[in-house]
């Protein structure tokens, strides 16, 4: 069964900490995405990547960075966590140029609380 | 730019009721359309899709028809169950070769026994 795996389901961090959210997919997908989900705001794209070492900003990149050193792994980094980054974070992947036909495969999400 | 508008929730129905969740879109060209479902505490799962006008996507008793003339992709189910309680997202992708999906805000559905 193909999968997108997010390393943590629940995470509690302190304000100012550097936080790493990890996502791994086993489908050999070129595209990987990070979204955050908040009530009333739906899904908002933070960053995405089309290839190893490649990244592009989404709609809300401020306060975040990403790393893609290997094709299967896409990490989201909160450089200095703040309480307004408390949210559900969703990772997704797709084959290059196949989002039109196949859509995305999502991970189960990481619910991050910053205190 | 491309956008998706869903009916606002929450929607609360009784078991065996008929369900419609409205979705309309704005896009250039001929997008593909998707419905995703998110069960409590989980990520999104693809429920159904349609890639061209007049296509009907279906899965698990849910259906949606791609209506180009009304730019709509409404989700329907004839008889809902308690287990259908979830958040439903409508999404579109652009023309062939597009990399990103555009999502609606989601509609929370609660089914009471």
Nearest to B103 among A4, A40, A43 (CB): A43
Q: What is the pLDDT of residues B38-64, one digit of tens each?
A: 998 889 999 999 999 999 999 999 999
Q: What is the pLDDT of residue B82?
A: 97
Backbone angles phi, psi at A68, to 5 degrees: -135, 90
Mean pLDDT of chain A: 93
CA distance B10 to A5: 29
Q: What percent of chain A has pLDDT over 90?
A: 81
Q: Are B65 and A66 in contact (CB under 8 A)?
A: no
Q: How confident is the model over B90-108, as pLDDT tens digits? A: 999 865 556 788 899 999 9
Number of cross-chain residue pairs from A and B with Cβ atoms under 8 Å apart? 66
For A18, the token pair is 């550097």
Torsion sign across C-alpha atoms A107, A43, B87, B4: negative
Could you say which residues from 60 to 89 on chain A have a Cβ atom under 8 Å away from some Cβ of chain B? none
Instruction: Let me know if B4 is exposed, middle or buried by CB neighbors in 10 A (0-12, 13-18, 19+).
Output: buried
Supply A17's token pair. Answer: 């900490």
Residues listed for chain A: 115
The mean pLDDT of A2-16, rounded to a whole number, is 92
Minimal C-alpha gap between B35 and chain A (Å): 10
For A78-93, the pLDDT digits (tens) are 999 999 999 999 999 9
The minimal CB distance from A48 to the residues B93, B94, B100 is found for: B100
pLDDT at residue A1, rounded to an integer: 65
> Is residue B101 within 8 angstroms of chain A, CB to CB?
yes
Give the best residue of A8, A99, A108 to mutate against chain B (max B CB count within 10 A). Answer: A99
Judged by CB atoms closer than 8 Å, whether chains meet at B106 and A97 is answered as: no
Interstrand relation of B11-14 and B3-6 (parallel, antiparallel or unpaired): unpaired
DSSP strands (E only) in chain A: 4-6, 10-13, 19-25, 31-38, 42-49, 56-57, 64-70, 73-78, 87-94, 105-106, 110-114
**Could you give the CA distance from residue B101 to residue B91 in angstroms, rounded to a whole number?**
6
For chain B, what is the mean pLDDT? 92
CB atoms within 10 A of CB A79: 12
Determine, for residues B99 and A48 on separate chains, whether the beta-carbon distance falls below 8 Å. yes
Looking at the predicted structure, is the pLDDT value of residue B75 above 70?
Answer: yes
């Amino acid at each position: 069964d193909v999968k997108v795996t997010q390393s943590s389901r629940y995470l509690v961090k302190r304000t100012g900490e550097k936080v790493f959210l990890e996502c791994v997919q086993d489908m050999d997908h070129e595209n990987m995405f990070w979204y955050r989900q908040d009530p009333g705001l739906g899904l908002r794209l933070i960053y995405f990547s089309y290839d190893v070492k490649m990244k592009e900003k989404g709609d809300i990149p401020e306060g975040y960075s990403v790393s893609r050193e290997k094709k299967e792994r896409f990490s989201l980094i909160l450089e200095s966590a703040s309480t307004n980054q408390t949210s559900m974070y969703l990772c997704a992947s797709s084959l290059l140029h196949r989002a039109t036909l196949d859509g995305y495969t999502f991970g189960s999400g990481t619910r991050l609380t910053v205190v | 730019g491309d956008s998706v508008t869903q009916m606002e929730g929450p929607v609360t129905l009784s078991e065996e009721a008929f369900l419609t969740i409205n979705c309309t879109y704005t896009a250039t060209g001929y997008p593909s359309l998707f419905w995703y479902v998110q069960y409590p505490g989980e990520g999104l799962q693809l429920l159904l899709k349609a890639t061209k006008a007049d296509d009907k996507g279906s899965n698990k008793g849910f259906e949606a028809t791609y209506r180009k003339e009304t730019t709509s992709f409404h989700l329907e189910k004839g008889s809902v169950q308690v287990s259908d309680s979830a958040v439903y997202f409508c999404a579109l992708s652009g023309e062939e070769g597009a990399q990103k999906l555009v999502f609606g805000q989601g509609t929370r559905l609660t089914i009471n026994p």
